[in-house]
Structure formats: structure tokens, C-alpha cells
Amino acid sequence: MPDASDGRRLVTSDTFVSFADVSVTYGSGAGRVPALENISLDFAAGDFVCVVGPSGCGKTTLMQALAGFLKPSTGTVSIDGRPVDGPGVDRGVVFQQPALFPWLTVAGNAGFGPMLRGESRRDRAGTVEDHLRMVGLWDFRDRYPYELSGGMQQRLAIVRALVNKPKILLMDEPFGALDALTREKMQEELHAVWRRTGMTVLLITHSVEEAVYLGTDVVVMSPRPGRIIERIAAPFARRESAGCSRDTKSLPAFVALRERVLSLIWQTAGT
């Protein structure tokens, strides 16, 4: 039920994450960079929100505001009605370049978060094994990050976020550096985790196809200063059967939506 009795902004019951009139400006004076301007965006628990837009439009800034790594210049970001005022274990973050500890093994990296949280050695071993098996890294548990391919490192970075059982998973172009085949496999793995856990996901991607395929919602941003041009509901993430991703991606309805999003981006790029 909407409730404004305590003076907060009116929040409907299914709003989980809310950006309310958020602007972010970097620097000052002549070096002032308006990165985000009046972003208002609400989404519900369990939504898979994909953000697309040209380089420099503020996608990473948007994610950092939700992660709690930066404070908006104006406006508020809130989770479940509470303003974000710093990072927290309710949010797992995956960066474009995998952030791993080079001196720890695969299992050591995966178990680092649970160790910090004081999880017992036995529980931790179980959590680590489940997650490494899930992404096909169990056989590599004693290796070090430098012994892994880029795709494997990124899978480990995703595990590091997932082991903390975040309510919200934030991912900044996580598959950008992967080859096409690995990328499609990673999309399937991420999609399976999302369906199983019901997590809320914010994924930033350069790939419109990826956004339309994975997202329940696709948010299209304009060039700097970043604004939301359009938010489009996408039906493919919640389709009944997982099936073959190429089958879905070649459906006429899929192609039409992909082209619609692409043309929005092109229009706003002014070319």
C-alpha cells in the first residue's frame, strides 16, 4: 500500500529500488561534468533491468549511485524505502574488469566475502563448492586468477558477488571483453541464477541484443548529461521455456524490439 504518513515520498508497494530525481555532477568550475540529470527510475524486487546508452552517458555513474560508491549531487537513491548512504552486503557488484585477489586461489577468492562475514569454515566450504560448481569452476578451485581465461575470471567475479546472497546484483558491462560464444554461455548462466534466486538485477551493457534478451526492462539513456529516454518492458526474460538462445534471438518479435531500441539510441546520438 502507498504510505506517505511518515513524510517520505509516496512509494507503492512494489517499488524496491528508486532513483528519485537523481543528478550527479563531477568536478567544479570549468571542469564541471554533468553526468546524470534528473533520473527518476523505479523498479520492483525481481526485476532484471538492463541499461543501454552511448559511452559516457552516465551508466557507470548510475550504478555507482545505487552501489553507494558515490552520493548524488541532488535527489535520492533508495532501496526498500531507505536512502542509500554507502555500500552494503545487500548489493553485489561486478565490474567490467574482474576484481579478484591475485594472491588467493579460486576457492579463496570465492570464500573471501563469507569469511569476512564470519561464516563458519564448514558453511563457507559448502557455499563455495555450490557456487563454483554452478559456474563450472569447481575443477579449478586450487588455481590462481592468472591461470584462468578472461571468461573464467569473470565467472569467478560473479561468484564473488553471488556468495554474499545479495538482494541486488549490479553488473557493469560484465561480458564486454568476452568472445561471442563465452558471452552467450554467460548470459544463460546469469539468466538461470536470476530465475532460481529471484534476485533483482541491474545490468549495464553495450549490447542491445543482450539487454533485450535478458532484461524484464530495458532502459535507454541519452548522451551526456545522461537522461532516461525510454523504459521498455521486454517479454523474453520471463518466457516459459529456456530453450535455445539463438531461437529466441531470431524471433520476429525479438528482432523488432532490438531494432526499436537501436533506433532510439541512434536517434538520440544525433547521427
Ligand X SMILES: Nc1ncnc2c1ncn2[C@@H]1O[C@H](COP(=O)(O)OP(=O)(O)O)[C@@H](O)[C@H]1O
Residues pairing with 79 in the sheet: 17, 82
Stretch of 60-68, 104-112, 154-162, 178-186 lying at the interface with Mg ion (CB under 5 A)? 60-68
Q: Which does 69 bind (CB under 5 to 8 A by kind): Mg ion, ligand X, none?
A: none
| Residues 269 and 54: beta-carbon distance below 8 Å | yes
Dihedral in degrees, nearest 10, Cα atoms 207, 249, 217, 153: -50
Q: How far is the CB of 119 from ligand X (least distance, A)?
A: 33
Q: What DSSP element (H or E) covers 261?
A: helix 252-269
Residue 92, classed as helix, strand or coil, is: strand
Q: How far is the CB of 234 from ligand X (least distance, A)?
A: 20
Of 48, 4, 40, 14, the C-alpha closest to 226 is: 40
Interface with ligand X: number of residues (CB under 6 A): 12
Q: How far is the CB of 233 from ligand X (least distance, A)?
A: 22
Q: How far is the CB of 28 from ligand X (least distance, A)?
A: 10
Which set of grid coordinates corresponds to residue 228?
Answer: 532516461
Nearer to ligand X, 5 or 55 (CB): 55
Interface with ligand X in residues 138-167 (CB under 6 A): none
Interface with ligand X in residues 182-241 (CB under 6 A): 224
Residue 268's alpha-carbon distances to 200, 230, 264, in angstroms, are 28, 11, 6
Strands 228-233 and 91-94: unpaired
Nearer to ligand X, 26 or 144 (CB): 26
Residue 89, classed as helix, strand or coil, is: coil
Cα angle, residue 219 at apex, residues 215 and 224 outer, rounded to 5°: 145
Nearer to ligand X, 100 or 204 (CB): 204
Nearer to Mg ion, 60 or 109 (CB): 60
Q: How far is the CB of 168 from ligand X (least distance, A)?
A: 18
Q: How far is the CB of 225 from ligand X (least distance, A)?
A: 8
Q: What DSSP element (H or E) covers 109?
A: helix 106-116
Indicate which single residue of 15, 18, 23, 60 sits in contact with Mg ion (rule: CB under 5 A). 60
Q: Which does 33 bind (CB under 5 to 8 A by kind): Mg ion, ligand X, none?
A: ligand X
Binding mask 24-63 for ligand X (x = CB under 6 A): --xx-----x-x-------------------xxxxxxx--
Strands 168-172 and 200-204: parallel
Long-range pairs of 115-118 with CB within 8 A, sequence gap ≥ 24: 117/89, 117/164
118 Cβ contact partners less than 8 Å away, ≥ 6 residues apart: none
Q: How far is the CB of 243 from ligand X (least distance, A)?
A: 32
- Using CB atoms, what's the residue nearest to Mg ion? 60
Interacting residue ranges for ligand X, rule: CB under 6 A: 26-27, 33, 35, 55-61, 224
Interacting residue ranges for Mg ion, rule: CB under 5 A: 60
